[in-house]
Each structure stands twice: as C-alpha cells, then as structure tokens.
Structure 1
Amino acid sequence: MLLVSLALNIMVLVPVLGVLAANGRAAEYAWGSDTAARRILAAIYAAILFASVTLLAGHLLKYDVLAWAQALLAIQVVYKVLTAPFVGLRNPVVLSNLGIAIVHATTLVVTAG
C-alpha cells in the first residue's frame, strides 16, 4: 500500500506541476490567478513530489523509509482534509484532495502495525 500512495503522489503531482507551470485556464480555474500564494503552493507540491520520488526509490532499494513515508502521508492527509472547510466542496482540487486523503489514510492504517 505504501507503494500505491507514493506512486499516486507522483502520478498526480507531475501533471499538476505541469499545469501550474503552463499557467493556462486550467491552472486559473483550479488554483486561481498566478500569485505568490499559488507559486508557494507549487513549491510545496514540488517538495512533496521530490520526497515521494526519494521515498519510493528508497523503498525499492530496500531501505527502511516507512517512518519517513508515514510522516509525509500523515501531513498530506491533514492538509488535504482541511481544504474542504477552508475552500469548500465545489472546487475540483478539494474533491481530488479528499480522494487522495482516503488512499493515504488507508495506507497509514495498513502500515501502522
């Protein structure tokens, strides 16, 4: 399940960062106009992507990365769930965040033992 969550982060964040970098209508619709706040969010997404790639590689190379990955996923679950009351359920990013939070929460439960 750990591989699923880390791979999901990578599969979602690569195109998301591409959309944000392209700065087109899709980016504006989902994340608002190009502001310092949106660029800070892109930096956070890039950090999560980097951590996910690093942890996935470490896991595949048989390093014990479980605690690090659990910390990353736990932070993601919290911030993704908090987007619902902060932004509302009409935003497509919030809806995808909630779906991803369910996957990551499941991973945390499965790997807790």
Structure 2
Amino acid sequence: MTLFDRTKEIIKKRGMSVSEVERKAGLSENYLYTWKKSDNPRKKSIESVAKVLGVTVDYLLGKNETPEWANEKDTKDLETFLERNLEGGMTYGGEDLTEEEKQQVKLAMTTIFWKRHKHD
C-alpha cells in the first residue's frame, strides 16, 4: 500500500475529506494527491498529516505494523519495551542469533506488545 493509499484509507475511516485534512495540516489544495507520484514527500507535511489523523508517521509510511490507534507515546513505549528486552546479546544454544533471527524475535515481541497494549 502506498503512502497516499494508506492516508486516504485513514481519512475515510475518520469520516473526513482529503481537502479537510489538507486544510487542517496547513497544506495547499490537492497537495496529498501529489503523494500518488512522489517517492519523497516532505517530512514536515507527513508529520502534519499524521498529527491531523491521530496516527504515527511510521504508520503512514507503512514502516511497521503499528496499529492506527497508536499515538506517539505508544510508539515510545514500544521502543522502551524493545530496548529493555532486546539489549545485550541474543543467543540460542550458546550461539549468537543471526540478524534475520533477531528481526524475527523483534517482530514477535512487537506483536505481543501491541496485543497487550491495546486501548481505545
């Protein structure tokens, strides 16, 4: 899913219009439609839209499986949780985990975090 598609989907879920989000985010008319073709939209505009929609920038960018209800505090809590639980060497049977295995552990811990941390 592209940045534009994800943004438009959230706009629809929020019962808003694209023009309303653009106005509230301080963007020019039809600006969000440029995201259909742009590989590198301005960071400030993405941050503004995320704030208007009440989601994280990472969620808009599709960088993780952050739930749409998560806010900045929630994502900071996740970072803290992962830092506390993943710091130090990760080993199994006396051998260091590969980078791929470490990413799998991180994904599993992230999934558990979001399931336990869910709120309205």
Q: TM-score, normalized by length of structure 2?
A: 0.30
Question: Which structure shows the bigger proportion of residues in helix conformation?
Answer: 1
Q: Could you state the TM-score of these two structures normalised by the residue count of structure 1? A: 0.31
Higher relative contact order (CA 8 A, sep 6+): 1
**Higher Rg:** 2
